[in-house]
Structure 1
Amino acid sequence: MLRPWKTIFNVSFNAQQTLVEQISGVIRNEIIKGRLERGAALPGSRLLAADIGVNRKTVVFAYEVLVAEGWLESKHKSGTFVSANLPLMKDRSGQSSKYPLSNFEYIQYASFTVTDRPLAENLIVFNEGAPDTRLAPLKELSAGYKRVFQRQGKWRLLGYGSEKGAIKLREMLSIMLSRDRGLHVDADNICVTRGSQMAIYLAARVLVRPGDVIAIENPGYYAVRKLFHEAGAILKAVEVDKDGIDVDALERLCITTKIKAVYVTPHHQFPTTVTMQAGRRMRLLELSLKYSFAVIEDDYDHEYHFGTGNNLALASHEMAANVIYISSLSKLIAPAIRVGYITGPASFIQSLVNLRVQIDRQGDAILENAIAELMEDGTIARHARKAVGVYKERRDLMLACLQENFGHHITYHKPEGGLACWLQFKNDLNMDQYITGLRQKGVQIVPPASFYLNNQSTNFIRLGYGSLNAEELITGLKIMGDTYYQALL
């Protein structure tokens, strides 16, 4: 057990008590207060003696007194510890104190609902569409780190670098965006962030003044609603159908209301998974120029497309002057690899970079250079091809299991990409009770009301299949089917 480097014991050296009494009394009080817990290791007698400025034998005698009283216990060749046989000391933090309580005002941020990891042990989690970390190229990433540290001049990476991110990674991203997504963007106009969530946060803070109107997809990404709301924006919902966001409804909103920006997920709409059709993409860009609003394109899972052809990014179009493009490598590699990026009009990106410096001087230069190595040698591209094949098989298995376990009781849109499926129950269902019943049987799903601006009750659910293997999918969907039929009785 680790011992403290420095003690917190305060000995006053008063004349009314011996040093042994004072030291033993201080330790005894720390145990009673709960600051020294059962089993806690005390400093060695030599260290404590040097720290408080007494003879070592004085500390040894004080320890012996406390051992004799049962407060401490001595373990041969291990040291001195608070006795494990003591009762748990009561938490006195809520009791009155001679010290005043804090009384300054501050903003209270609401807790954020976690849906991408188990809320309890041994749950099969149908999350919102996370990748399977078991597929991550860990060996190659480790080798990339090693090459970075073997490079001549590696010590420079330990100092401050560009607030926009490692130049090597930005150059690789520039090449990838041009080759795979049709964007022609200079590396100097890319800002690397700690995941796409950070990029969205920065964009919101640069764009929004209190009272500005932001249009969002409905249903849509609840985290974005929270970010824009806390930045002071007024949110206006625009419905989504089988072709993506309703641009006619968006124009009607623009006629009556000045909007600052619209947030869209055109490649695979979140949560419905539909792809925005070409005509709507053109119309959206035309509206952005006509009514002078920004388009925030969140391309969160571009690599995972199973159909023929490649839908280029909205930002690749010649009319995309007002598009702010955000994407990430986290879903491609692993969620723990916090690497996102953002590009857009040069002056906007520079303002965003200036803000980023205030809250996060720079990203992880070692990680960014290691990933750049893997992009340059083709590892990332090979991993993407392999992952797409695995996820396509899982999608097909999921659709087969849905058909087997629910039959005509559901309808769904077959996703042409992404890592999740959007389905609707035909019968009315008490979703809260259904979710509770699933949890009791070891299955967790995302509460569907969170996708809607007004948290409305809905019979739609989004089931992420990417992070589950075949056995988990089969078992989880069987439980979901059985629980559904029981709920109908």
Structure 2
Amino acid sequence: MIRPWKTIFNISFDSEKTIVEEIASSIREEILKGRLERGASLPGSRALAKDLGVNRKTVVFAYDALIADGWLETRYKSGTFVSEHLPEMKSLSAEKLKDTESNFNVREFVSAPLTEKPFSGNVIFFNEGSPDTRLAPLKELSRAYRRVLDRQGKWGLLGYGDERGDLKLREMLSMFLSRDRGFYADPGQICVTKGSQMALYLAAMVLICPGDTVIVENPGYPAVRTLFTEIGAEVKAIEVDQEGIDIDVLESMCKKEKIKALYVTPHHQFPTTVTMKAGRRIRLLELSIKYGFAIIEDDYDHEYHFGAGNNLALSSSEMAINVIYISSFSKLIAPAIRVGYITGPQKFMRSLISLRAQIDRQGDNILEHAIADLMEDGTIGRHSRKVVSIYRARRDLMAQYLTESLGPMISHHTPVGGLASWIEFNRKIDFNKYMNNLQKKQVQIVPPGTFYQDGHSRFGMRLGYGSLNDQELKEGIKLLADGISKL
């Protein structure tokens, strides 16, 4: 088919550019827009010159310039073609990018400051407490996924479903919460989400209006602090000690102003790993009822408890009338498995489910049903027992190596659960300089200041051990100690 090159290439004879530049720019533009694909044949210089009404040498010069820049290539006795290996988009001039900039306003959102990716492939990364994806039950999940797709009635799962999530999964979650977390949630009052972060977003959007006062832990989870701030809430932080959030300070704040919601990680506090004591839990629930604020309970790391007994959720109390419960499978299976869930009071859940449908019509029916099958046949339970044993051993090694390499320089306690340790240095540390020292040794930590409301760590640092094997832990802790010695 003969293309109308004159209409395809936008050549302006009145432009300040030369005709050669106009032709080269137009061809490059068509390539970037995808209308001229890699390997596409261009007309001969004589034919294109005739079509455009220009001298043949003008087209030759334009082709030569594009060949030199890597946009075009010549093939012996075949002609000129779009290159199979195009330059990167950055080859566009800043002036051209400016010309194509939109002229409408946008709302700018800020990403949470936590870093979950190592700066290189060979680094030992003490992340914020991620699981070891090498332990994920991939074969079991793959088999379950195939069974769902092979099952009679599978076509129903491929269509639109309930915005609350797969019914079987919600039924299995209801049984799990009753057996393991100490409270009953009706399957109709559970909403499956794409991870706990989505659940937090939905809860925040339903609960919080601009100007509302919201309480967070300090140090605490930076992503939720960023989320509340973006919504327009006035975010205030309460210090955490060895027994959890300071309830006396909370009560004092409640007497002075209206509190709309409080976000808390009572089971294994993020990032310090401490467990909120029973007395504080009771007082927190009492204050919630007395002053009418919601408690967003993020049951963080509840899957990994290494002690004799496992604390039940705040939601298990008869006083938990204002508690919203959030959890996920991201730590138990793998972070890429974006399946979380949320439950709470009926009025709250009605609004949240409606909002969830507006944002995302439904979740992944097949994946959710596969996970439900794994819960039903006991696979999830067996996997949990297996990895808890592995992570307990890694926790013990972490404590041993910390004592051996950093003992006199730090204070730390062996966590009763979770996938990270919290250490505090006995002297003030320049963490920026420390992280630079570590980077030279191919070691990375999460910037400690991200956990604090003011962005500056006092002395504390969170070190995830879950994703590191024995050798990586031993070597990594040694290098952490070496990095301190250089300060």
Please, what TM-score do these two structures have when normalized by structure 2? 0.86
Distance 1:87 1:312 in 2: 54
Compute the displacement of 1:117 (Å).
1.9
Superposition pairs for residues 182-331 of structure 1, below 5 Å? 182-331=182-331
1:420 aligns with 2:411: no
Q: Aligned pair in 2 of structure 1 residues 471, 76: CA closer, same or farther (>3 Å)?
A: farther
Partner of 1:51: none
Contact 2:304-2:418 within 8 A present in 1 as well: yes
| Mapping 1:77-476, distance limit 5 Å | 81-82=82-83, 90-95=91-96, 101-476=101-476
CA distance in 1, matches of 2:88, 2:205: 51
8 Å contact from structure 1 (residues 9, 27) kept in 2: no
1:41 aligns with 2:38: yes
Q: Secondary structure at the match of 1:324?
A: strand
Contact 1:33 1:89 in 2 (8 A): no
Q: Which residue in 1 is equivalent to 2:45?
A: none
Query: 2:403 is aligned with what amino acid?
Result: Q
Amino acid at match of 1:390: I
RMSD between aligned residues: 3.2
Q: For the residues of structure 2 that align with 1:131 and 1:8, how far apart are their CA atoms?
A: 56
CA distance in 2, matches of 1:416, 1:390: 14
Structure 2: distance between partners of 1:442 and 1:247: 41
Work out whether residues 111 and 226 of structure 2, in 8 Å CA contact, stay in contact via their aligned partners in 1. Answer: no
* Cα shift at 1:427: 2.0
Letter in 1 for 2:110: A
Paired position in structure 2 for 1:48: none
In structure 2, the CA distance between the partners of 1:32 and 1:302, relative to structure 1 (3 Å rule), is closer
Shift of 1:449: 1.0
Does 1:12 find its partner at 2:7?
yes
Shift of 1:304: 0.2
Change (3 A) 1:85 1:477: closer
**Alpha-carbon contact 1:34-1:90 (below 8 Å) kept:** no
Deviations 1:392-438 (A, max 9, x none): 00000011111111121110121000000000111222111001110
User: 3-state SS of the aligned residue for 1:227?
Assistant: helix
Do the aligned partners of 1:307 and 1:417 also contact (CA within 8 Å) in 2? yes
Change (3 A) 1:110 1:9: farther
1:72 and 2:69 are equivalent in the alignment = no
- The alpha-carbon deviation at position 477 of structure 1 amounts to 0.7
Question: Deviation at 1:157?
Answer: 1.3
Deviation at 1:254, TM superposition (A): 0.2
Query: Which residue of the other structure, out of 27, 30, 48, is the alignment partner of 1:30?
Result: 27
For 1:88 and 1:207, the matched residues in 2 are separated by 43
| CA 1:172–1:76: 2 relative to 1, 3 Å | farther
Report the Cα distance in structure 2 between the residues aligned to 1:229 and 1:122, rounded to whole angstroms. Answer: 36
Find the counterpart in structure 2 of residue 50 from structure 1: none
| Secondary structure of 2:32's aligned partner | coil
- Distance, in Å, in 1 between the alignment partners of 2:366 and 2:97 is 49
Name the amino acid aligned to 2:366: I
Offset at 1:243? 0.6
Whether the 8 Å CA contact 2:217–2:238 is kept in 1: the answer is yes
Gaps of 5+ in 1: 1-6, 17-24, 46-61
| AA of the residue aligned to 1:222 | P
Distance 1:388 1:89, change over 3 A: closer
Q: Calculate the TM-score normalised by the size of structure 1.
A: 0.86
Q: Which amino acid aligns with 1:92?
A: S
Give me the whole-angstrom Cα distance separating, in 1, the residues matched to 2:90 and 2:346.
Answer: 59
**2 CA distance for matches of 1:31 and 1:419?**
51
Q: CA deviation at 1:75?
A: 8.8
